[in-house]
Amino acid sequence: MPGCSGECSFGESHSHDHGEAGGDTSSELYPSLFPYIHVDQVTCLNEVEVGSIKKILKPSDRRFDRSDFVESNDGDQLIIYVPFTGSMKVMSISVAAGGPLDDAPSVMKLFTNRMDVDFGNVERLIPVYEMAMAPTQDIVQYPLRISKFTNVHSITLYFPNSFLGERLRLFYLGFHGVYSPLTRDPLITLYELHPNLADHTTSKADTKVDYGIF
């Protein structure tokens, strides 16, 4: 794709999901991260109905339900910010779009762990990952390069344009991978720059040290 910056993905490296509402979920490659999305804090820039983005984030067993959708307001661009309640390893993203096909996005750009992406800076920022999307109304699961989506606390999706239309419409957005709870406890000991030796006396039985080389 001309002008692609950052990590790019092309071709047929994705899976299609066919079925009816409430259909079988076995074709999804990885566990759903829906339970770990901080839905109340999800935002979408340029949506017609404010808050409609939250309706297309739903459990996998409702992914064929097309009664709700998010639609672009001015032009065919959307910026979607999705925060998680823990630290994620995001392995794939599922998207159901179109209806008609002209309204389906042609490109998806992804940013991780930043809250400042908007239409004023998105074209200047280098995405963590960028991919061409399939021209279909099916649910498509796009695998990601896992090394770039580890320790993800939030993900921002930028859809810069649709295939042919003047608007963009999405019916389902799903994230898949592995969840780890957030914890700050291990960081506490890093800030004791000048320890008092009297506070750190140990017996010989407590002097075993495990070494790790990184």
DSSP H/E element including 153: strand 152-159
> Using one digit for the tens of pLDDT, what is the confidence trace for 156-167?
999 999 988 789
Confidence of residue 152 (pLDDT cuts 50, 70, 90): very high
Q: Is 90:33 a contact under the CB 8 Å cutoff?
A: yes
For 169, left (φ over 0), alpha (ψ -120 to 50), or beta? beta
- % of the chain residues with pLDDT over 90: 62
Confidence of residue 207 (pLDDT cuts 50, 70, 90): very low
> Using one digit for the tens of pLDDT, what is the confidence trace for 26-83?
356 789 999 999 999 999 999 999 999 999 999 999 999 999 999 999 999 999 999 9
pLDDT of residue 33: 97
Q: How far is CA 51 from CA 56, 69, 91, in A?
A: 10, 10, 26
pLDDT of residue 183: 66
The mean pLDDT value for 86-101 works out to 89
Going along the chain from its start, the domains and CATH numbers come out as 8-181 (2.60.120.470)
User: Which among 165, 176, 158, 172 has a CA at the least distance from the CA of 44?
Assistant: 158
C-alpha–C-alpha distance, residues 118 and 75, integer Å:
15
Report helix, strand or coil for 79.
strand
Residue with tokens 């998806």: 108
pLDDT of residue 165: 74
DSSP string covering 45-60? ETBSSTTGGGGG---G
Lowest mean per-residue pLDDT among 15-24, 113-122, 141-150, 178-187: 15-24
